[in-house]
Amino acid sequence: MKEELFISGRDIPFIDPVLNVWHWQIPLYLFVGGLAAGLIFFASYFYLKGKEKEYPMAIKIAPLLAPIVIVLGLIALILDLRHPAYFWQLYTTIRLDSPMSWGAWTLGAIMPLSILWPLSYIQDIKNYFGDWTFKMPYKLLVWFIKMIDRYWIIKWVYELSIKFRKPIAITNLILAIILGVYTGILLSAFNARPLWNTSILGPLFLVSGLSTGAATIMWMAKDHHEKIAFSKIDLLLIAVEIFFIVHMFMGFLASSEVQQEAAALFLGGEFTAVFWGFFVTIGLVFPAILEIMELNGFKIPISIPAFFILFGGALFRFIMVDAGQITRFLY
């Protein structure tokens, strides 16, 4: 048996007794990154498949959320920095070895494209908000469309965005997948934190992000056919997610001592209840059951499963970031 009796001369904030360098900002950033990836992915994918008529919400309206949540994510990221005024230095180098650098550049690339996409559908978005009792967004859009006509530069960008919809969709599709995988790789690249150091985290976060995106679309969709389509997609994604989670733990338990101890945090340790009880049960299985009931004809307001999936997706990232910082090498 080996025991670290005590450490003298060390009591550093955020590091001792356990590492706690990343707080709520990074998990929030990972969550909105995944959500944006999901929204952009479905919009581009179904556009390229020519389903504009069938899935109007997914292709035309929902992607409006993407730039908004990306900005939220960037704000969270900046709040996480201890030297926020030096933020721009992320964009003075490209470091292929650093997932942080990858992420900053991916977000930098996807951000303008994610604005161009809804811009090309601005008329449809305006009509969508026309039905709202709360008239503020509608008025704003009407004003904005007037601006398009008034300034040639905006008009030029607007026309470009319509003309180049297809290449934008292709680029967006690729960037969305990179963004979704990246949210997992940001963590899995850290060899020093055994819980994160599993390559399944990339696909797992991608699937989870896509699932939150699908949930948002099905929540927003008005057309019954579209709702059903996205709740089916979501069900499939949840199944894959559960499969990946089981694999992750199988991998941990078959690995070295540090990873077995990381798994133990979830199999009897302090994160057991919140992970299996709240995330897996309430955030995955429960909405999946509701969706299955819905598909079988029960009348269930779609907002309930959608809400729990979003809740589960966010919680999952909070748990992984928190728990990962506790795990470490022992010597």
Residue number with CB closer to another protein (133 or 191): 191
Residue number with CB closer to another protein (280 or 320): 320
Asked whether the beta carbons of 218 and 50 are under 8 A apart, the reply is no
Asked whether the beta carbons of 177 and 138 are under 8 A apart, the reply is no
Question: Nearest-CA neighbor of 41 among 237, 198, 235, 173?
Answer: 173
| Distance from the Cα of residue 10 to its chain's centroid | 37
Closest separation in Å from C-beta 271 to another protein? 18
Residue number with CB closer to another protein (32 or 217): 32
- State which amino acid sits at residue 321: V
Residue number with CB closer to another protein (16 or 159): 16
Q: Which two tokens stand for residue 98?
A: 């650093």
Closest separation in Å from C-beta 100 to another protein? 4
Task: Determine the Cα–Cα distance for residues 10 and 202; give it in Å rounded to an integer.
Answer: 34
Question: Nearest-CA neighbor of 112 among 61, 70, 150?
Answer: 70
Q: Which residues bind another protein (CB under 8 A)?
A: 1-16, 19, 21-22, 80-84, 86-87, 89-90, 92-93, 95, 97-101, 104, 189-193, 256, 325, 328-331
Closest separation in Å from C-beta 186 to another protein? 8
Element housing 243 (H / E)? helix 224-253
Closest separation in Å from C-beta 21 to another protein? 4
Closest separation in Å from C-beta 90 to another protein? 6
Residue number with CB closer to another protein (9 or 50): 9
Closest separation in Å from C-beta 330 to another protein? 8
Residue number with CB closer to another protein (12 or 153): 12
CA distance to 112, 124, 144, 161, per residue, from 150 (Å): 22, 20, 10, 17
Closest separation in Å from C-beta 247 to another protein? 23
| Distance from the Cα of residue 136 to its chain's centroid | 28
Burial class for 60, CB neighbours closer than 10 Å (0-12, 13-18, 19+): buried
Positive/negative CA dihedral, 285, 287, 291, 293: positive
Residue number with CB closer to another protein (44 or 188): 188
Q: Within 13 Å, how many C-alpha atoms sit on residue 141's CB side?
A: 20
